[in-house]
């Protein structure tokens, strides 16, 4: 999955840098051990891309990242978006195996030079494995607090520095920014979405 979005700013069409950065997707359990790191170099013309597949009991699970408009339509490569416009970023993992994927941990760093997180916009849903884009969007979304714990849920976002604003998203029990443990049962697809404003 690769998404590249053009940004219109002050009448010019520019290529954005990556929306955010996946730093780790980890299956730490014995027998399911696998990890992947996807790094986007950033800069003009860079792309928003999926991480490498991870392997769980010999079956690959992929993290898919999408940009969508507020209506839920997936923005294809080269879509034009305007400065000030809000869009969704969507991340999902489809566990199409017969084994539960346990203790999923995911960290994303928002590129604050390109995007501004919309506070309190984190949501998650679970749908059946193999759901298409429309079915994923039609899932039942549960709001996740920006906060780490209190009340605890599966996701949080903090300000790791740089420009003022929240930029470090974690999902699951990530060390240093620990949320509720996240498992994905067999044949289920877990999706997280949040909104950003184009700078």
Binding site for Ca ion (CB under 5 A): 144-145, 153, 156, 159, 162, 165, 167
- The nearest distance, CB 114 to Ca ion, in angstroms, is 13
Beta-sheet strands, E only, within the chain:
2-3, 5-9, 12-15, 20-27, 34-36, 48-49, 54-56, 59-61, 63-68, 79-82, 86-95, 105-110, 115-117, 123-128, 142-143, 155-158, 168-171, 173-174, 177-178, 188-198
Residue placing its CB nearer to Ca ion in the complex, 31 or 151: 151
Cα 143–Cα 172–Cα 76 angle in degrees, nearest 5: 65
Mapped onto helix, strand or coil, the DSSP state of residue 191 is: strand
- The nearest distance, CB 76 to Ca ion, in angstroms, is 29
Residue placing its CB nearer to Ca ion in the complex, 131 or 156: 156
Give the H/E segment covering residue 136: helix 133-137
- The nearest distance, CB 199 to Ca ion, in angstroms, is 13
Nearest residue to Ca ion, scored by beta-carbon proximity: 145
Tokens representing 65 are: 């990242």
Question: Which of the 8 DSSP states describes residue 175?
Answer: T
- For residue 87, which of 73, 103, 97 has the smallest C-alpha distance? 73
- Give the integer Cα–Cα distance in Å for 12 and 155: 36
- The nearest distance, CB 23 to Ca ion, in angstroms, is 15
Residue placing its CB nearer to Ca ion in the complex, 53 or 165: 165
- The nearest distance, CB 122 to Ca ion, in angstroms, is 7
- The nearest distance, CB 79 to Ca ion, in angstroms, is 26
């Amino acid at each position: 999955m690769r998404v590249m979005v053009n940004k219109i700013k002050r009448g010019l069409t520019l290529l954005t840098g990556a929306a955010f950065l996946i730093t780790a997707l980890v299956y730490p359990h014995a027998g399911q051990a696998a990890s992947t790191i996807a790094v986007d170099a950033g800069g003009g013309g860079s792309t928003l891309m999926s991480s490498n597949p991870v392997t769980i009991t010999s079956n690959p699970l992929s993290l898919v990242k999408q940009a969508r408009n507020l209506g839920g339509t997936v923005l294809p490569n080269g879509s034009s978006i305007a400065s000030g416009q809000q869009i969704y970023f969507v991340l999902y993992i489809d566990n199409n195996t017969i084994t539960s994927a346990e203790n999923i941990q995911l960290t994303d760093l928002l590129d604050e030079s390109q995007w501004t997180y919309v506070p309190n916009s984190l949501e998650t849903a679970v749908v059946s494995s193999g759901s298409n884009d429309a079915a994923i969007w039609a899932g039942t979304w549960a709001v996740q607090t920006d906060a780490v714990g209190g009340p605890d849920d599966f996701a949080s976002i903090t300000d790791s520095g740089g420009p003022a604003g929240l930029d470090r998203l974690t999902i699951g029990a990530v060390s240093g920014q620990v949320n509720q443990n996240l498992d994905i049962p067999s044949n289920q697809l877990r999706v997280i979405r949040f909104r950003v404003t184009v700078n």
